[in-house]
Amino acid sequence: MMTISKYTIERVGINDIRHPDEILSTEELEKYSSFKVPKRQKEWLAGRFAAKAVIGNFLNSSLNPKNIPITYDLSGRPVCLLNNKKYLLSITHSGDWAGAVVKNENCSFLGMDIEKIEVRSKFWIEDYFHKEEVKTGSPEHLTKLWTIKESVLKALGLGLTANLLDIKIDGEIKFFNKALQKYEKMGKPKFDIISERFYENYYQSIII
């Protein structure tokens, strides 16, 4: 767990999760069982565990994870409704890790992404990055940019429904097309970016 001012981040190993019956409500167990691919089941469970853990740590509460409700807002972003307060969350998973971040109940802009650092094809680079973004071209640099773009799109409530080229990182973050429309609709909120490499070959970025 890491706390930054009023922001709390939780990372969990995807293979170190408690049994679903200890984490999930009845409704969540039904959702979990609906996934036919074991890998997808494990990733979803890990994300839920990270989200519930981060809420418990943020509120300094010993609540049973089964009693921490996770739902979604109108933009499809995960939220926790607890004690008549709404906490916006962001959930992510990649490879061996899942993570979640939460901030105070007045939060309206929040995103988190974890990605494994690895060499990717030139077609991947051409599809998701502007030429100005790939000057160094190193796998670590591109993975960092990817996590920032993903985090921004999650904060906007767009996810991958928007094109990653709608976000350009060139000294500052610039918005285009669908991402720009949503950002303007949200009132152009100010935000900070915190990025870090961890566990040798992973990168994490949060938008807070």
Which pLDDT does position 4 carry in this prediction? Answer: 46
Which pLDDT does position 103 carry in this prediction? Answer: 92
Q: What is the tens place of the pLDDT at every residue in 47-100?
A: 999 999 999 999 888 889 999 999 999 999 999 999 899 999 999 999 999 999
Q: Cβ(176)–Cβ(139) under 8 Å?
A: no
Q: What domains lie within the chain, and their CATH numbers?
A: 1-107 (3.90.470.20), 111-208 (3.90.470.20)
* 106 dihedral zone (left: phi>0; alpha: psi -120 to 50; beta): alpha
Which residue in 195, 185, 35 sits closest to 48, CA to CA?
35
Q: How far is CA 101 from the centre of its chain?
A: 7
Mean of the per-residue pLDDT values for the chain?
93
Q: For the whole model, what pTM was predicted?
A: 0.93
Q: Cβ(110)–Cβ(88) under 8 Å?
A: yes
SS (H, E, C) the chain: CEEECCEEEEEEECCCCCCHHHHCCHHHHHHHHHCCCHHHHHHHHHHHHHHHHHHHHHCCCCCCHHHCCEEECCCCCEEEEECCEEEEEEEEEECCEEEEEECCCCCCCCEEEEEECCCCCHHHHHHHCCHHHHCCCCHHHHHHHHHHHHHHHHHCCCHHHCCHHHEEECCCEEECHHHHHHHHHCCCCCCCEEEEEECCCEEEEEEC
Environment class of residue 194 by beta-carbon count within 10 Å: exposed (0-12), middle (13-18) or buried (19+)? Answer: middle
Which pLDDT does position 160 carry in this prediction? Answer: 78
What gap in Å lies between CA 73 and CA 53, rounded to an integer? 20
- For the beta carbon of residue 137, count every other beta carbon within 10 angstroms: 11
